[in-house]
Structure 1
Amino acid sequence: MESIINALTAAEYTTDAVMERIGEAGQRALNRNSTIASDRAVGQTDDPLATLIRLFILQQPLDVARVAEALPVEDAVTAGLVARDGDQIRALIDVRPYSSDDGTRAWIVSDLTCGLDTPPPPMTEDYVLGLSPASTQLTQLMVPGRFDAALDLGSGCGIQSVHLAQRAERVVATDLNPRANALAGLTFELNGLEVEQRLGSLYEPVAGERFDLIVTNPPYVMSPPSESRLTYREGVFTADGLVHHIVANCADHLNPGGVLQVLGNWAILDPDRWAERLTEWIPAGCDALIIERERLDPYEYIEIWLTDAGLAGSEDFVPRYRQWLEYFDRLGITEVGMGWINVRNSGAAIPEVRVESWPHAVQQPVGPAIAEWFDAVTLLRGRGDDGVLDAHWTLAEGVLQETLGEPGAADPNHIVFRQYRGLRRAIETDTALAAVLGACDGELTPRQIIGAVAALLDADADALTEELAPKLREAVIDGFLAKHASE
């Protein structure tokens, strides 16, 4: 493998170099499964980078002599990256350069993209998906820090383990699909990573083991029972039972303070009780932040996944569609929520569990904001109102105050404090709360500030203190107020 690594490195087969060569139009076209724009951008050049782009990304068969200038052909054949057919070489798997904002640089191995320039054919059951919006979204969700042990549950092509290896002393990667384990193994080998691989379902391969961080983008698609299932996206559980199982059993595999992060979806049975239903999944002694990022009706959801499976336009499309609708009707599923489930094994007697819908733009990576939420919950645990009112706080970095009102009016109609980092939350305040938040600079405590504000507004200080205390607590938990350095 060393000769292949050296060749990829010498060719500068990196994300930046590929993007520079194919251009933004080429990348957008590849996202639509079209190679024409990239093919034209690469042109007639035959340097090693152009060869690798054509071989792996555009999936073009090439002359042996040309490939030999970019890759050690025999080593690549032995490794299972390419096949030789007479005088031509074709890629057997996808080797894709990857980079992220945290400085991670890697090559990711997966199955070839289905349906380039043609309608995608139905996928094989053991198909291994490569880089996808879901997998890269999970990398952005990871909480920062250094960890002794981390688990990539359902590793697929291995992208999460590549990130975990940058922050954990020991990484375990599991998958039910033997082919996924094999291709992830190539990903790890190409990138010189030591990752323990286990074959098996969910927590079975790590029975009795505990971790500081568990991340998973599991096969969460809620499809009807079928003899043919795509392993990377569909399990054998009913509805959202697989995601439920992962969350409900996580405490048995988390060290004290350990965190589980799930990118998944869940069934909406009763729109008025959806948050309560998810709350019931959280194990005792665990804090949780569950954020719904999107909600789809059954038709949208089913069409997305039938198209993903390459069935759009096929004779199976309508029958499978109707079967799926009947399945949802039978289970009482009216909508599907999609988002993030974050759980920390705090050991708290009275855990903090927040379930909310937040479909708005967030700062990426969002992992630090998730960690800050857990830290704020821990900071305030055991502190009553006095603990908030008598501490020293500062308005958090990236929080701005906005006012909205009629032109010429003495007072604004709305006062909003808005975050421009993290989850980018916003809270609408009244004059009193706005004045207190704005005056938090670490010098005075909220109790002292409220006293001054009450005098200015000719209000009762005790009543105003009682009214604002829970709002200030929420402002701390939601990241609008930060602990002053003196605390």
Structure 2
Amino acid sequence: MGAVVNSEGHVLPSPVPAADSAERIRSALLAARFTPDGLLELLGGVAYAALARNETVPARRALQSDGPLETLVRLFLLQRPVPEEHAGWALPLDVALADGWLVPADPGAAPPGGPVVRAAVDIRPYGGPEGEDWWIVSDIGCAVGGAAGIAGRHQDVVLGVGGASTTLAGLTVRTPVDRVLDLGTGSGVQALHATRHAAEVIATDVNPRALAFARLTLALSGAPDADLREGSLFEPVADEPGFDLIVSNPPLVISPDTRFEYRDGGMQGDELCRSLVRRAAGHLTRGGYLQLLANWEHREGEDWRDRLTSWVPDGCDAWIVQRDVQDVTQYAELWLRDAGDHALGQTAYEARYDAWLDEFEQRSTTAVGFGWITLRATEAEEPSVIVEEWPHPVEQPLGDVVRAHFARQDFLRATDDASLLAQHFRLAEDVAQEQVGMPGAEDPEHVVLRQNRGMRRATQVDTVGAGFAGVCDGSLSAGRILDAIAQLLGEDAVGLRDRTPQTIRRMVEQGFLEPVPAP
């Protein structure tokens, strides 16, 4: 039995397997070592990495036998039919067929020799942060190969784990909390992570099929149940107590389209992301975090930083990082390819392309930014709002980096310059100093401090800044270090104390220096 297609050529939604049999399926997957480690050992690093790019040919070429693990790879990763007999070696066949994990394949889809079956869902091995063996369940056939996009798919298609999912999971602050909200859960990746450190997890989505897949993801991964609720944005939790953490990988695409629930939010421009940010403050506990991925418009005559700053609600600190930016033609082409519109024929493709550019032109949008937004609910009189561009490589996971960022804002806010000079500091462990200059020169032209982990920032410092950072081991106060530098350089100590606090604040804010208790 193949996919069900309507008269317009669209694939109709397939039934979602029953979760009742998830434990038996999970046991079979573990027994066959259908796990990240098992796949890496079977396929090798090159083919395994190719699967993460949705390229299947190297994995197909790496399979040399018909054992249980190889059969599961063919079924769920290569999405090829296999003989029913082989499927029975890897899975409890009666349950897998009865509950809809597998379905009979088309006659002739596999070599002759008996009935064949195919996967009805996508099951992807996924490694948890502490080495857990998890699996993400989603609709089949949406990512494999990647060349055709999701052309012809039904509106409520549910995608599996991807780069956006793993980015958000790595960004999220993972301290133990009471309540977490996963807003727009999709296949349940963020909810799965949240079950490790939250007493209660509520996951919402406008798409009931997404909630069904999220339930499968949790059950198949052996995770605690989450409270799954249907609805848009904060509607399903309108009368709930506050949350300690809200995470969201929302339908963030700035699109004139409404075809696909997983990406098209149905609001004009970047209004959905703005609305989510603006409304979050009313659903956070004191000190609670909102963390989401977002797209935002760059409009003619308007600084995008000012635009993002205006989104931040009262009573919240914010750290907003733009990771990439595309002009409107690049952005439109990206999502037209994602929808498979290039396969519609030149006339239809150009009409869709025109619709995207017309939409951007109406709002004077010249480009679209991609990035991360983190809010933290605070009672500070002057919240910290930092909006920056950082397109350079970072080292995930960044959850501890995010938490430390806001802790530093608290410290700087509570510390005047006199107290700052009395404070002891330590150079962060991952910071190296680089001297840049002409070979043979007596003094370097520039001194750069560089982080080797986390955000991997680099900052240029002068002689005083380099000397200060170089001796910060927590043993002396900042003021005493500056007095020693002034004596060494023959400078006025009072003047140096007056002009250096701003440099110290910048190095603390960016994570180069860490305040420590006096010995």
Task: Report whether the alignment pairs 1:7 with 2:32.
Answer: no
Task: Report whether the alignment pairs 1:136 with 2:136.
Answer: no
Task: Report whether the alignment pairs 1:164 with 2:194.
Answer: yes
* Aligned-partner Cα distance in 1 for 2:506–2:449: 13
* Aligned-partner Cα distance in 2 for 1:352–1:372: 14
Alpha-carbon contact 1:123-1:310 (below 8 Å) kept? no
**C-alpha deviations, 1:129-174, integer Å up to 9, x for none?**
1011111111111113111111111000111111111111111111
Shift in Å at residue 23 of structure 1?
A: 2.9
Q: 1:32 to 1:261 in 2, by over 3 A?
A: closer
Q: Which residue of 2 aligns with 1:119?
A: 148
Counterparts of 1:43-82 in structure 2, within 5 Å, are 43=64, 45-82=65-102
Shift in Å at residue 220 of structure 1?
A: 0.3
- CA RMSD in angstroms comes to 1.7
Give the letter for the 2:399 counterpart. Answer: G
Shift in Å at residue 208 of structure 1?
A: 2.7
Shift in Å at residue 234 of structure 1?
A: 0.8
* Aligned-partner Cα distance in 1 for 2:469–2:60: 56
* Aligned-partner Cα distance in 1 for 2:482–2:50: 57
Q: 1:308 to 1:185 in 2, by over 3 A?
A: same
Task: Report whether the alignment pairs 1:196 with 2:227.
Answer: yes
* Aligned-partner Cα distance in 1 for 2:201–2:54: 33
Match of 1:98 among 126, 150, 155: 126
Match of 1:108 among 132, 136, 139: 136
* Aligned-partner Cα distance in 2 for 1:277–1:211: 26
Q: Which residue of 2 aligns with 1:292?
A: 322
Q: Which residue of 1 aligns with 2:337?
A: 307
Shift in Å at residue 115 of structure 1?
A: 6.9
Alpha-carbon contact 1:122-1:311 (below 8 Å) kept? no
**C-alpha deviations, 1:346-397, integer Å up to 9, x for none?**
1211000000001111121111111110011112222211121111111111
Match of 2:61 among 24, 33, 40: 40
Normalized against structure 1, the TM-score is what? 0.95
Q: Which residue of 1 aligns with 2:377?
A: 345
Counterparts of 1:381-400 in structure 2, within 5 Å, are 381-400=413-432
Shift in Å at residue 270 of structure 1?
A: 4.1
Alpha-carbon contact 2:142-2:159 (below 8 Å) kept? no
Alpha-carbon contact 1:104-1:163 (below 8 Å) kept? no
Counterparts of 1:70-469 in structure 2, within 5 Å, are 70-85=90-105, 87-114=115-142, 116=144, 119-120=148-149, 121-192=151-222, 193-209=224-240, 210-224=242-256, 226=257, 228-270=258-300, 273-315=303-345, 316-469=348-501
Secondary structure of the residue aligned to 1:381 is helix
Shift in Å at residue 32 of structure 1?
A: 5.7
* Aligned-partner Cα distance in 2 for 1:34–1:470: 50
Q: 1:327 to 1:464 in 2, by over 3 A?
A: same
Give the letter for the 1:119 counterpart. Answer: A
Choose 464-473 or 330-339, whichever is displaced more. Answer: 464-473
Secondary structure of the residue aligned to 2:395 is coil
Choose 51-60 or 448-457, whichever is displaced more. Answer: 448-457
How many aligned positions are there?
484
Shift in Å at residue 468 of structure 1?
A: 0.9
**C-alpha deviations, 1:391-426, integer Å up to 9, x for none?**
111111111111111222221100111111211111
Q: 1:394 to 1:272 in 2, by over 3 A?
A: farther
* Aligned-partner Cα distance in 2 for 1:246–1:275: 18
Shift in Å at residue 272 of structure 1?
A: 5.6
Alpha-carbon contact 2:39-2:48 (below 8 Å) kept? no
Q: Which runs of 5+ in 1 are unaligned?
A: none
Give the letter for the 1:66 counterpart. Answer: H
Q: 1:454 to 1:366 in 2, by over 3 A?
A: same
**C-alpha deviations, 1:43-77, integer Å up to 9, x for none?**
2x111111111111111112222111111122112
**C-alpha deviations, 1:87-109, integer Å up to 9, x for none?**
22111110111014443430110
* Aligned-partner Cα distance in 2 for 1:303–1:450: 55
Q: 1:347 to 1:335 in 2, by over 3 A?
A: same
Choose 376-385 or 146-155, whichever is displaced more. Answer: 376-385
Secondary structure of the residue aligned to 1:157 is coil
Give the letter for the 1:350 counterpart. Answer: E
Shift in Å at residue 216 of structure 1?
A: 0.8
Secondary structure of the residue aligned to 2:500 is helix
Alpha-carbon contact 1:208-1:253 (below 8 Å) kept? no
* Aligned-partner Cα distance in 2 for 1:330–1:21: 53
Choose 109-118 or 45-54, whichever is displaced more. Answer: 109-118
Alpha-carbon contact 2:395-2:456 (below 8 Å) kept? yes
Shift in Å at residue 290 of structure 1?
A: 0.5
Task: Report whether the alignment pairs 1:474 with 2:506.
Answer: yes
Secondary structure of the residue aligned to 1:238 is coil
* Aligned-partner Cα distance in 1 for 2:143–2:135: 22
Q: 1:189 to 1:223 in 2, by over 3 A?
A: same
Q: 1:454 to 1:33 in 2, by over 3 A?
A: closer
Give the letter for the 1:297 counterpart. Answer: D
Q: 1:271 to 1:123 in 2, by over 3 A?
A: farther
* Aligned-partner Cα distance in 1 for 2:492–2:208: 69
* Aligned-partner Cα distance in 2 for 1:484–1:31: 42
Alpha-carbon contact 1:156-1:184 (below 8 Å) kept? yes
Shift in Å at residue 16 of structure 1?
A: 1.7
Give the letter for the 1:232 counterpart. Answer: Y
Q: 1:474 to 1:175 in 2, by over 3 A?
A: same
Shift in Å at residue 31 of structure 1?
A: 5.1
Give the letter for the 2:289 counterpart. Answer: V
| Identity percentage of aligned residues | 43
Alpha-carbon contact 2:423-2:518 (below 8 Å) kept? no
Alpha-carbon contact 1:405-1:411 (below 8 Å) kept? yes
Q: 1:409 to 1:115 in 2, by over 3 A?
A: closer
